[in-house]
Amino acid sequence: MKHGANYLGNRRCSFTLWAPLAEKVELHLISPEERLMAMEKKEHGYFSVETDNISPGTQYFYRLNGEKDRPDPASHFQPEGLHKASQVIDHTTYQWKDNTWQGIELKDMIIYELHVGTFTPEGTFQALISRLDDLVDLGINAIEIMPISQFPGNRNWGYDGVHPYSVQNSYGTPDDLRQLVDECHARGIAVILDMVYNHLGPEGNYVTEMGPYFIDKYHTPWGAALNFDEYYCDPVRDFFAESAVFFLDNYHIDGLRLDAIHAVFDMGAVHFWQYVTEKIEQLSLLKGKRFFTIAESDLNDTKVIKPREIGGWGFDSQWMDDFHHSLHALLTKEKTGYYSDFGRLEHLAKAIQKGYVYNGDYSEYRKRKYGNDSSSHSGEDFVVCIQNHDQVGNRMLGDRITSLLSVEALKLAAATMLLSPYIPMLFMGEEYAEDAPFTYFVSHTDSWLVEAVRNGRKAEFSAFAWLGEAPDPQAEETFQSSKLQWHKRTEGKQQLIYRWYKQLIALRKERTALHHPDKNNVQVSIAAQHILVLQRWHESDDLLCLLNFADTPTEFRLEGNDSIWQQILDSTDTKFGGTGSDLPYVLQSNTRLQLSPYSVTVYERRSSES
């Protein structure tokens, strides 16, 4: 059964609601003219009706037991907000222009995570289009959009959505989203959409009146878990899995990032995530186009990215927190919360070479052994970053890594990510060292809920020794202060950082040694305690990267054979704001070098005849 209102053309529409707790359900049409129609009760708790005289734009509620009018949980659009009427949408009228679009391979992606509401002053899909050429200029070929399902009010990260088939009304209409995707594809940019299937937001969550969407058997950070393995679970599984297919199909989305998959509990024979990835694979076969799935996982468990055929969940890739934590703790020296498990150069070297740092080792933070071995997995199985919405926004003040590191250390962090064998992901504004915070913001209408959010945020910060007072998440000012300041990318240090990112991205795209994801062609070693020596090669392309994580000049001897290396990139170059390179343009092994503090130098191998 297709959930929600499905427009059939010729002014006919079918409406389907799963509500096994209801004795009677009526379709309450409220515009353009009011009508009340009985819905037929089907097996397994579904109610449905098919009727004529319905045009796109018709607004409706479901009336439960002759008493309560409720919006459609599978609403495709809420034009007046979360609590108001749902709207019938015709998904067939938009004239797509991306017929020749073939997509971007995961291994080739340079991902850019963004939040629609704070990416531009207007905070809309249409305004976002105006910035796509800037992303192309930078070298971005994939954007990851934070959740856009309808949430309360006009300000939210998106993880409080309760309509997983809808488009946030303050961002624009369904066709506005389609135009955004179309314009991305026209510029060679893939679109990844962040989806939330581990909980529903607390405000406007009316599904508890309709059916057992939740169970008390398991508990999540947001309360009772969604029902994916108990009585009546099949319609719940379908409700969410079909929304994934819905967005990929109707909006030409290229891939999905699935939020906190570890917070989904399912003891059934076919895990919910296996069910979702199988549905998406079926769509891929039907459309002749590969759709990608990227998991956010706190498990350090390779079952997430293993094929379903051997018992895995079938995700194409996953975020790797260990890389971020290793690099962040090493450069910032922070040792509170989960950073207490990190901070040594050996952690970062292991992350680059093998993947998970904790692959069965004892975690002091977790007080248990944690993770399994990921060393056999390709680089494209992991997405890495130096900051993302969580790692910035879940800090007390929403302070970016920009405010924590020097310009040279920022350049070192960026290079570590973009020279790694993994899929790099930038967080919006990172490319020019944006210094505006990205704080947590909401616009709930329930005063009790607002206070609960405030107190909850304070509790989350208890594991970290951060000073200051958290901004009020409900305040308009908190939201406004998080908007990007685009003009800064052409000024001072921001301009130099932007130039550095652009050069790194171009290098990664040009050199097969860098964008080829085979970790067998990666060698990592530590020299002189603070220097990471990273060698990457593929066929005839061989690169040597020297990264100094010391805050002082550091001497070391380049060991090895009689290879000749020629410099192709140096972070101390004056065009990137440095004082000028002291390293030789051409060097040979067994040469003693002095590396500048927090510096990165990349060499390419030259044959002895050249």
Q: What is the total residue count of the chain?
A: 610
Query: Six-digit token pair at 254?
Result: 């290229």
* Selected catalytic residue, list 296, 316, 408, 570: 296
Q: Is 257 annotated as a binding residue?
A: yes
User: Which tokens hold the place of 106?
Assistant: 């995961």
| C-alpha to C-alpha distances, 150 to 19, 461, 475, nearest whole angstrom | 21, 27, 20
Is 347 one of the annotated binding-site residues? Answer: no
Q: Is 72 annotated as a binding-site member?
A: no
Q: For residues 592 and 571, give the distance between their C-alpha atoms in angstroms, rounded to a whole number.
A: 19
**Looking at the DSSP assignment, which residues form a beta bridge with residue 523?**
535
The residues, any chain, with a CB within 8 Å of residue 202's CB and separated by 6 or more, are: 160, 222, 223, 449
316 part of the active site: no
The answer to the question of whether 392 is labelled as a binding residue is yes
DSSP, collapsed to helix, strand or coil, labels residue 141 as coil
Structure-token pair, residue 542: 């061989």
Backbone angles phi, psi at 453, to 5 degrees: -65, -45
160, 229, 242, 259: the active-site residue? 259
Phi and psi, residue 597, nearest 5°? -60, 140
d(CA 426, CA 435): 15
Furthest-apart CA atoms within the chain: distance in Å? 87
The number of beta carbons lying within 10 Å of the beta carbon of residue 214 is 20
Tell me if 325 is assigned to a ligand binding site. Answer: yes
Closest CA to 548 of 564, 568, 528: 528
Coil/strand/helix, residue 602: strand
Helical residues (DSSP H) of 218-268, grouped into ranges: 233-250
258 annotated to bind ligand: yes
Please indicate if the annotation marks 25 as binding a ligand. no
Inter-residue contact 74 to 3 (CB < 8 Å) = yes
**Coil vs helix vs strand at 554:** strand
232 near 21, Cβ under 8 Å? no
252 carries a ligand binding annotation: no
360 assigned to a ligand binding site: no
Whether residue 451 lies in the annotated active site: no
Q: Residue 525: in which H helix or E strand, if any? A: strand 522-527
Q: Residue 207: CB partners within 8 Å, gap ≥ 6?
A: 73, 162, 200, 213
For residue 125, say whether it is annotated as part of any ligand binding site: no
Compute CA distances 560 → 456, 526, 564, 591, 610, whole Å: 54, 14, 11, 10, 19
CB contact burial 367-394 (16+ within 10 A = b; e otherwise)? eeebbeebeebbbbbbbbbbbbbbbbbb
175 marked as part of a ligand binding site: no
Question: Residues forming the annotated binding site for substrate?
Answer: 257-262, 321-325, 389-394
Question: Residues forming the annotated binding site?
Answer: 257-262, 321-325, 389-394
Q: Which residues are catalytic?
A: 259, 296
